[in-house]
Amino acid sequence: MKGYTGRLLRVNLSDGKVSKEAISDSMKENFLGGRGFAIKLLWDEVKHVDPLSEENKIIFSTGPLTGQPLPSSGKMVIASKSPLTGGYGDGNIGTMASVHLRRAGYDVAVVEGKSEKPCYLLIEDDKVQIKDASGLWGKSTFECQDILEERHGKNTGVLLIGPGGENRVRFSVVLSQKGRAGGRPGMGAVMGSKNLKGIVIKGSGTIPVADENKLKAMGKQGYADIMAKGNYEFWKRQGTMQVLDWCHQNACLPTFNFRESVFEHSKQLDGAMLEKIKVDRKGCPLCNMQCGNIVNDASAHPSELDYENVGMLGPNLGMKDLREVALLNRMADELGLDTISLGSCIAFLMEASEKGLIKEKMGWGDFESARKLVADIGRGEGLGKLVAHGVRSAAKEIGRGSEKWAMQVKGLEVSAYNCHACPGMALSFGTSPIGGSHKDAWIISWEISTDRSSYSEDKVKKVIELQRLRGGLFECLTVCRLPWVEVDFGLHWYPEYMEAITGRRFSMEEFDRIGDRVYNLMRAYWIRENGGWDRQADYPPARWFEEAPSSGSLEGVKLDREKYDQMLSWYYELRGWSQQGIPLKETLEQFGLKGVAEELGHNGHV
């Protein structure tokens, strides 16, 4: 198939060996790229290893659409066995590194082993070098971005970890371009455990496609189509920040560690407030929707705000000054910490302090304490040590019922949607293939605009439909989903782009089938690495079942455990999984995963 470079780059940091391998046609046909390639490689190569040992591998994976002249195609999946959850982990980052990786002649890069000393990789087409990074170790992602650009040129793709990743904070991320961040389930810690500070990529080639003229023409039409959309102008002004007011209005804003669902100071943090202090915007390569909102933070440094960052570091901590929230956010970017997990960890500590479970005093909205905590978490010092493995682990340590308000699923902290009155979104968090993430099925806007209170089978079907599109199609083609989600860019463009690039027409049903194959393999990976499965792992945090908010339009409402359980049973049935959440043998075989069924079966799981 055209449209792929057809090559995988493998670098072993233990022995310095570099190899280039062919990617088979069946791999392309069955897994497409991005997340599909990543899970196939992890299933085949990363088995029962400690995620922070040299046996783990980290995968930088693009798809057939990545780097092509079409809307929002500058994305890359970064995946590994997660040190935060112990299961499949990935994130999707917008970065010039994705474009340069393809231009350098690779669809995927796999980094394995462990370097003796801090190092970074320099990939210049066929030339791949492991360079000394001792001068970079300990420095922030922003400083290193400048140093590496100065050293290797501005027109390069740079991926970096900060001190958080170096110190193996288990929710540390990979940063690029001073503001793009990806790999929530600890992809930064995996790089840190390999002594890998960063990757610099310079590619000079082109990726041959089946019909270049058609692709160029359709790419142009796609960009124009986006600009003509009714909500394009508003999107440019607020980007994802428009969600904050929506969440407040609909009583699903994470407030005080998800205890409440509205925040009396929300107007000081929302999209309209952002517009007042916004100084610039930026975003990912090849995108005309540039949604990174730049503001000057409380210490007058630029900081890039998205809804999740503000939701989790703002109302969830009781913070009411957007510039102070921006400062915490900038610190997270410099240190390379995921803002969602970070916000959840700080909120957890504030609640623990309020309940007297820790001796340190820190009240809701206490900016100075929050600021100190961010620094301590990044350095793994003081109270930072208690939460450096995430809230699941911290709750185990302090006990006394705190696991009920440790806001996580499978070890990954849930993102910024309070679901005490959103059963569909709760199921989406419960069944996300990386833990408590909204990325696979953001059903909440559909749910609120239809029948919010129902626990219907139709809702379960909608979760699966969204998982196929968002978690399957977009993660495998490896393009940004926001044009479709936010300005209604038609899904019909994607089979068209695929045809112009690869010469092969994929129907939406074929894409769905690939998405389902990938989902089954991700689930099998969790089961294999956990040595079994318990359906309790597919439950959202207990707080949503047991404690209702005390204010707002949905005061007193909480999730119903029995009805959630029924939804989960439907979910398993529709996916062809057992009532323990394990894919049935015939389901795996139907997706060409016979070997996977055998491997799980031998362990008595299927």
Q: Which is nearer to ligand PTT, 443 or 480 (CB)?
A: 480
Taking Cα atoms as reference points, which of 11, 87, 82 lies closest to residue 51? 82
Residue whose CB is nearest to ligand PTT in the complex, by number: 91
Closest distance of CB 135 from ligand SF4, Å:
31
Six-digit token string for 524: 């099998």
Residue 538's binding partner out of ligand PTT, ligand SF4, none, with CB under 5 to 8 Å set by partner kind: none
Residue whose CB is nearest to ligand SF4 in the complex, by number: 283
Residue 287's binding partner out of ligand SF4, ligand PTT, none, with CB under 5 to 8 Å set by partner kind: ligand SF4
Please give the size of the binding site for ligand SF4, defined by CB under 6 A.
10
Distance CA 95, CA 98 (A): 6
Distance CA 605, CA 599 (A): 9
Residue 338's binding partner out of ligand PTT, ligand SF4, none, with CB under 5 to 8 Å set by partner kind: ligand PTT
Interaction between residue 77 and ligand SF4 (CB under 6 A): no
Scan for tokens 């989600």, then name that residue: 485
Residue 339's binding partner out of ligand SF4, ligand PTT, none, with CB under 5 to 8 Å set by partner kind: ligand PTT
Distance CA 557, CA 372 (A): 35
Q: Which of residues 90-119 bind ligand SF4 (CB under 6 A)?
A: 94
Distance CA 325, CA 93 (A): 22
Burial of 525 (0-12, 13-18, 19+ CB in 10 A): buried
Residue 290's binding partner out of ligand PTT, ligand SF4, none, with CB under 5 to 8 Å set by partner kind: ligand SF4
Distance CA 304, CA 17 (A): 38
Q: Which is nearer to ligand PTT, 123 or 337 (CB)?
A: 337
C-alpha dihedral (330, 335, 340, 345), degrees to nearest 10:
-120
Distance CA 311, CA 306 (A): 9
Taking Cα atoms as reference points, which of 204, 50, 63, 29 lies closest to residue 114? 50
Q: Which is nearer to ligand SF4, 113 or 157 (CB)?
A: 157
Given 287, 373, 537, 554, the residue binding ligand SF4 (CB under 6 A)? 287
Interaction between residue 76 and ligand SF4 (CB under 6 A): no
Closest distance of CB 470 from ligand SF4, Å:
13
Closest distance of CB 291 from ligand SF4, Å:
3
Distance CA 117, CA 123 (A): 19
Interaction between residue 305 and ligand SF4 (CB under 6 A): no
**Structure letter (DSSP) for residue 468:** I
Interaction between residue 482 and ligand SF4 (CB under 6 A): yes
Interaction between residue 241 and ligand SF4 (CB under 6 A): no
Count of C-beta atoms within a 10 Å radius of residue 336: 31
Interaction between residue 236 and ligand SF4 (CB under 6 A): no
Closest distance of CB 187 from ligand PTT, Å:
7
Question: What is the contact mask toward ligand SF4 in residues 244 to 283, using x (rule: CB under 6 A)?
Answer: ---------------------------------------x
- Three-state secondary structure string covering 177-237: CCCEEECCCCHHHHHHHCCEEEEEEECCCCCCCCCHHHHHHHHHHHHHHHHCCCCHHHHHH
Residue 388's binding partner out of ligand PTT, ligand SF4, none, with CB under 5 to 8 Å set by partner kind: none
C-alpha dihedral (515, 516, 517, 520), degrees to nearest 10:
130
3-class state of residue 348 by DSSP: helix
Q: By the 8 A CB rule, do 61 and 478 touch?
A: yes
Closest distance of CB 181 from ligand PTT, Å:
3
Site for ligand PTT, rule CB under 6 A: 75, 91-94, 173, 179-184, 240, 284, 304, 306-309, 332-333, 337-340, 439, 474-475, 480-482
Q: Which is nearer to ligand PTT, 180 or 379 (CB)?
A: 180
Q: Which is nearer to ligand PTT, 346 or 567 (CB)?
A: 346
Task: Name the site residues for ligand SF4 (rule: CB under 6 A).
Answer: 72, 94, 283-284, 287, 289-291, 480, 482
